[in-house]
Amino acid sequence: MVGSGHSVAIIGATGAVGGVMRSILEERDFPVASLKLLASSRSAGKEFMFRGEPVKVEELTEDSFGGVDYVLSSAGGDISEHFLPVAVKAGAVCIDNTSAFRMDEDVPLIVPEVNPHAAFGHKGILANPNCSTIQMVMALKPIHDVARIKRVVVSTYQGIAGAGVTAMEEANKQIRAVLDGKEPHDSEKFVHPIAFNCLPQISHGVGSDPFDEDGYSDEEAKMIAETVKIMEDDSVRVTATTVRVPVLVGHSESINIETEIKITPQQARDILAKAPGVTVIDNPSKSEYPLAIHAAGKDDTFVGRIREDRSTDNALNMWVVADNLRKGAALNAIQVAELLADA
């Protein structure tokens, strides 16, 4: 495939996020002159269609980046740490969807609707925030700009797709087993069965240390640190509890915010209704509020159940939902690439 535009490579092209990256590049008509699909040797030789033409998956090596303009990476932190500096030396700009570089001082952490200006200080690598962080700051930043958020308390209900394709396959097998009256098989991707269960432990994997010395999981620590970096305001205090739930695609979040300036729920709705990439669905009397099944496959972040916190002053509760594979990962990365390509 040869055309006008940019040479793009996707690392982790056969994974859940990599597949959505392929689709979104095509949907948004990103100017792709050539596309490289990179994965492990196990996947080399597989074919996927892009703009009506088959593209073969190539094995990822240090020689994969000659002539590549943009690298979209979503294959694990260790792989990004090893290969992205190599890609930068070869002349590519890398947008990484792993946690490898997010808190590096020299790596911008970008949500284009929130902090686009920060993208242009990159040194070859830019980072996508964690999926749960992206949708949260989409809802927080417009309110912060008006009323200054002092404190955030968030509890997440995160879909299985965030743990990858094999996790979704494992969840489906467990659910079928339970429905057949059997015990779910031992988990490989989760420390406990996910079928009809909620797991308040989201970390790098079963083999890693699941909680830090203060009892926070890896995912919770990410949300806290990343939010402050993206909002560019270390006075914002954040605490999080992250939970994996038996939903295939889509993350939901219950967020409580405390602001310096009091705003009403209706003022918050009006602010968010004008925010790019945000859709307000908030008519609870008719049972209209964001749902993961409706957010799946859509690009926006959806906000509803906006109401006053009766327990304290200047505080609101809200419910925020997004497709974690799209805005929480693939779409955000491609929007970053668009930001740079259009500059």
Q: Which residues are catalytic?
A: 131, 251
Q: Spell out the residues 6+ positions from residue 53 whose beta carbon is closer than 8 angstroms to its own.
A: 1
The candidate with the shortest Cα–Cα distance to 201, out of 165, 169, 238, 156, is 156
255 touches 269 (CB < 8 A): no
Helical H runs in 72-215?
A: 77-89, 131-147, 165-179
Q: How far is CA 260 from CA 144, 228, 275, in A?
A: 9, 17, 20
Q: Which amino acid is at 52?
A: G
Of 27, 91, 50, 6, the residue nearest 330 (C-alpha): 27
- Phi and psi dihedrals of 327, rounded to 5? -60, -30
How far is residue 31 CA from its own chain's centroid? 23
Count of beta carbons in the 10 Å neighbourhood of residue 208: 8
Closest CA to 228 of 342, 114, 59: 114
Cβ(148)–Cβ(260) under 8 Å? yes
